[in-house]
Amino acid sequence: MKKLYGTGVALVTPFKKDGKIDFNGLEKLVKYVVNNNVDYLVALGTTAETATLKKEEKWDVVKCIQRVNYKKLPLILGLGGNNTENVIKEINSIKNLSDFYAILSVSPYYNNPSQEGIYQHFKSIVDQTGSDIILYNVPKRTGSNIMPDTVLRLAYNFKNIIGVKEASGDVLQSYKILENKPQDFSVISGDDFITLPVVLGGGEGVISVIAQGFPDQISNMVSLARDNNIKKAFSIFYNILDIIDLIYEEGNPTGIKTLLDIIGICNSYVRLPLLMGTPYLRKKMLLLLKKIKSI
């Protein structure tokens, strides 16, 4: 399987004021990122508020993304959980698995499994589905960290485990994987703040939240880093660093949805237990956007 390089976008799920999915907003968002040089799309990740979507809603979201994308860019499907048997059933229920480049599967949350438990979880998924899996490590949400040794063990033992979205926020952890991984295993930054160190250390790119607000800039930044044009890559990063910081100030996707509302892509509505961005956040964002230089 060919590797995914560059910038992937962790798409939000736009909502209307009444809480229903805003498919017009989703269509506008997909067109915006596809037409502004991103490399692939990620549906139903954490940023999509997947935890609050009903089963039918999830597939309506995926179908909408597929229709608008029309096979222009590879599509990764977020599908994971803390019940191994259910994850396997869900993957096996997908009729057209070939429509997706890979499944992005989060480490089991809340159960707080041991490293061996995490290993056995992903082993069972691969053994019983045959899907290509990208591990998703996001300890601040799951409560447990997939340690580099566990990632490497999975990478070497299963050819269908093709990469890791590393969102621990610890660049050293990414480097330990990069130093020792199989050649065809992808290390993808799952954290906008450490995209450049991960790419410069040998990573393939990023699955980004901010890229749906600045698709062209983030794609350009990652391409420059991969071409070793470090100074120019960092000039883009520093130009939007404060806004990256701001989109996480009131949580994700509250911040990015506030930004997308400001730039006219979709509304900023979220579902409980999340709350919409405060007027204070919006005001700070508007001030920062005025300061950002055109790149």
Per-residue pLDDT band at 104 (split at 50, 70, 90): very high
102 and 62 Cβ atoms separated by less than 8 Å? no
Which one has a higher pLDDT value, 97 or 86?
A: 86
Q: What is the mean pLDDT of residues 165-187?
A: 97
Task: Give the tens place of pLDDT for each residue, 214-269.
Answer: 999 999 999 999 999 999 999 999 999 999 999 999 999 999 999 999 999 999 99
* Residues comprising the chain, all counted: 295
101 is catalytic: no
Whether domain 6-238 has CATH 2.40.128.110: no
Per-residue pLDDT band at 3 (split at 50, 70, 90): confident
Task: Give the tens place of pLDDT for each residue, 117-174.
Answer: 999 999 999 999 989 999 999 999 999 999 999 999 999 999 999 999 999 999 999 9
Select which of 40, 58, 101, 165 is catalytic: 165
Percent of the chain at pLDDT > 70 equals: 98
Q: Does the pLDDT value for residue 295 go beyond 70?
A: no
Q: Does the pLDDT value for residue 2 go beyond 80?
A: no
Tokens encoding 242: 């404060």
Angstrom distances, CA of residue 178 to CA of 2, 50, 126: 18, 29, 22
CA distance 218 to 221: 5
Q: For position 293, what pLDDT does the model report?
A: 67
Residue spans per domain, the chain: 6-238
Task: Give the tens place of pLDDT for each residue, 24-33.
Answer: 999 999 999 9
Q: For position 294, what pLDDT does the model report?
A: 60
Select which of 40, 101, 119, 136 is catalytic: 136
Q: Is the dihedral of CA 193, 196, 201, 204 positive or negative?
A: positive
Site of tokens 């940023």: 47
Q: For position 114, what pLDDT does the model report?
A: 98
| 218 phi and psi angles, rounded to 5 deg | -65, -40
248 is catalytic: no
Percent of the chain at pLDDT > 90 equals: 96
Closest by CA position to 177, among listed 217, 270, 30, 167: 167
77 and 45 Cβ atoms separated by less than 8 Å? no
Q: What is the mean pLDDT of residues 46-51?
A: 96
